[in-house]
Amino acid sequence: MRKSEIVNKLAKEYNIPVKEARRIVEEMFFWIAQKTAENGQVQIRGFGVFRLRRRSGRFTKNPKTGIETYIEERYLIGFKPSKKLLAKLNEKV
């Protein structure tokens, strides 16, 4: 499901303008990203936890040229689904 599909479903379900639904969805994603960056994690009960993960820097070699380069340390957002969400997903299997 894409963001535009979420926006359209929200607008239709709650009978609000698409523009307003888009603003709500974008604000929600912005808050999740911002709070994850600030606090290291955002927990949404019954859905899961977004966590900030650190990937350490490392050296890598280009197999074609053999030149070694260093990839800087960086941060990623990881997601761990809740037990409730996993149970619901595995019902269909």
pLDDT at residue number 26: 97
| 7-23 pLDDT, tens digit each | 999 999 999 999 999 99
Element at 72 (helix H, strand E): none
Show the tokens assigned to 35: 């709070």
Residue 1: is its pLDDT beyond 70? yes
Cα of first residue to Cα of last residue in the chain, in angstroms, is: 19
Residue-level pLDDT at 40: 87
Calculate mean pLDDT across residues 48-76: 94
Say if CB 18 and CB 7 are below 8 A apart: yes
Asked if 16 and 10 count as a contact pair (C-beta separation under 8 A), the reply is yes
pLDDT in tens, 20-44: 999 999 999 999 999 999 988 999 9
Strands 68-71 vs 74-81: parallel, antiparallel or unpaired: unpaired
Decide if pLDDT at 93 tops 70: no
Confidence of residue 83 (pLDDT cuts 50, 70, 90): very high
